[in-house]
Each structure stands twice: as C-alpha cells, then as structure tokens.
Amino acid sequence: MEGVKDQVRVRVQTKVRVPFLSRSQTYAMLKQRMEVAAQSEDYEEAARLRDSLKSFEEVEPVLRLRRLLKEAVADERFEDATRYRDELKEIVPDSLLKCSSDATTLGIRVKVRSVYIEGRSQPSKGQYFFAYRIRITNTSDRPVQLLRRHWIITDANGKTENFWGVGVIGEQPVILPRTGFEYSSACPLCTPNGRMEGDFEMKHIDKVDSLSFNVAIAPFSLSILGDGSDAF
C-alpha cells in the first residue's frame, strides 16, 4: 500500500470464511498458469487452462449467481433477481460490493476504482496485488488541502487493519474549486478478495485557523473476479 513505511497499522478482528476463499485461490492460480503458458507460447496448455477456467466459471457459485442476476435484471425478471441477490449475500456478504465507489462530503467528491494485477500476484503463495486509482474533485467554492489519509482494509478471512499516513503519494495536494487531483496506488493482500474504505482529512485554506474535516472514501471491493465493469 502507498507509503507503508510512514503509516500506523492497527489490527482489529479475525473471522474465517474458508470455502469461497479456496475457490477464489484456485481461480486465480488457473488464470495465472494460463497467462504463463501463453507467454511461453505453450498454446496447447493455454487452451486447456482456458477451457478449465470456462468450466470453473460455469459452476463457481459467485460467478454463476452474478451471471444469473445480470440476466434476470436484463429480462426484467425481478423476482428471480431478488432471489439471486439474496443467495449471493448469503454465500459471500461482500460479493455485491463493486470494485468502485463514489462519495461526496462537503462538496469534495472521491471516486475510486480497483483492479487485480495478475503479474505481481503469486496465488500459490497467498500473495495478491491490487491497484487502485482515486479521483478527488472539489465541487465546492472553497480551496482545500489534503492533510492525511486513513484506510480500513479487510481481507476475505475477516481480518481488518487500519492504516494512517500523511498526505498521499508523498504529497499534501491543494485542490482549488472546480478542479481535481488524481493518483494511483496499490494494496497487497493475502487473500483473493477483500474490501477497502476510509477517509481523507482535509481543511479549507481560504481562512486562517479553519478546522479540518473528514472526507469519506466509500467502501469498494478488492477482487480477483472483478465486478464485470471497467468504468472508473
């Protein structure tokens, strides 16, 4: 995660959800092996692994229910959609959480999008790497400065950690009215899925002794399965 060295970390809680975690790890390993086979021009093995992935996607409960839910909504079968949604929630409570979020606090809008980075992950060792991009837009009429960040990261086992740090990517940016600031960073995780949320501490800089305030970063998913959307 960004600037891990300058952050304070607090571990909060742990609870285990094994079955979905195991399936997700298998899926990640198959995908990585297919990429390796394709890069080494072992196309027969890549094709075999591709077919294995397709078969896996057909029977993997979360992927299957997501597909059925999407089809039900498209066909306006909302009773079925409700059932698929509830089944998803029962299997994995965060399975409907998107890999993006959008929240506005006191005129400061924070949009986030995460993506799984296969090339920097090692599923066989329980190492998963996620990148995320953040866009902060000042829709208010007052200039603000970003002072500190706070992240709450929860993995698929339910282990939650808090991280605090000064600024973002080594900066404490000033964001003028009707302008924005964007940056990218990353988060390593020991499970194939998780979630992030947090807040930025900011202050208005157009008046002396202005009090700082917290700007919400709404929850978003870290998932090797993605959410079927590439929109930021």
pLDDT tens digits, one per residue of 34-76 = 888 888 889 998 898 888 888 877 777 777 887 888 899 999 9
- Given a cut of 90, is residue 10 above it in pLDDT? no
Residues 6+ apart with CB under 8 A from 128: 28, 116, 121, 188, 189, 190, 191, 192, 222, 224
The SS3 call for residue 69 is helix
pLDDT at 92 over 80: no
> pLDDT-derived band of residue 94, with 50, 70 and 90 as boundaries?
low
- pTM summary value: 0.71
pLDDT at residue 227 tops 90: no
Encoding tokens for residue 100?
A: 């993006």
